[in-house]
Amino acid sequence: MRWTSRVRFLFLMPAVIWVLAFTVFPLGYSLYMAFYKVEQKVEITREKVPVLDENGEPVMLKSGKPKTKNVVHKNEVSTSEFIGLFNFKRMFSDPQVWSAVKVTVIFVLVAVPLQLTLGFLLALLFNQSLFGRPVLRAVMILPIFATPIAVGYLFFTIFYEEGGPLGFLGIPFLSNPSWALFSVILVDVWQWTPFCFLVFLAALQGLPDELYEAAWIGRASCRERVCSVV
């Protein structure tokens, strides 16, 4: 029993390390740096060094002094200063932040309901007996496995206004802010609707048959009552 529990924790260890390294630590470090002012400067120093010949010997001038040249050294220096809540104060007074929040709210309010609605409707459809349902279901979930960088390049090519497949429409998919937001929402709905579809489909297929039978019986009884009243 002890060995089984140890094996369980051993298999969980990679996931725990991944979450700690790529989620918890970046979040904590970002919160830590939010209270500091970080500046990067380039320090330039000049140094005179002797000019060497092919044999590594210094080149001498006619006066007998070694010939020198100026060498420039560039060093990047990062400095951090604790400034408390100044960054948060500046954030709330920055118009670009509020513009980003507005775009994010519009994106969430439009994209998420669309994904949930389309995913639920597709799950209802695929919960029925369809011809070639396994193949169609496999095709439906393909966008989930596409990496974000691949999806970005793909739809950047599709929405490209000069020479793209949709360029003949004359719609500024990428240059106009409103159309650009619409394009991003469309791409997000295309990629993540299959995820909602899988979740809803699993929930529907997990329902016991007794509930469906009870629903059909209740539906039939309601029809009989309506017919008897009429």
Domains and CATH numbers, the chain: 94-229 (1.10.3720.10)
Residues 6+ apart with CB under 8 A from 104: none
Cβ–Cβ < 8 Å for 165, 158: yes
What is the full per-residue pLDDT of the chain (230 aa) written as tens digits?
455 667 777 888 888 898 888 889 999 999 999 999 888 888 888 888 788 777 777 777 777 778 888 888 888 888 888 988 898 888 888 889 999 999 999 999 999 999 999 999 999 888 887 788 788 888 888 888 888 889 989 998 999 888 888 888 888 888 898 999 999 999 999 999 999 999 998 888 887 777 767 777 766 666 555 455 44
pTM: 0.65
Residue 187 has a CB neighbour count (10 Å cut-off) of 20
C-beta neighbour count of 36 within 10 angstroms? 15
> Which CA distances in Å does 3 have to 7, 14, 118?
6, 18, 46
CA distance 199 to 193: 10
Tokens of 102: 């507005």
Alpha helices in the chain (DSSP H): 2-19, 25-33, 86-92, 95-126, 133-140, 148-158, 177-205, 209-229
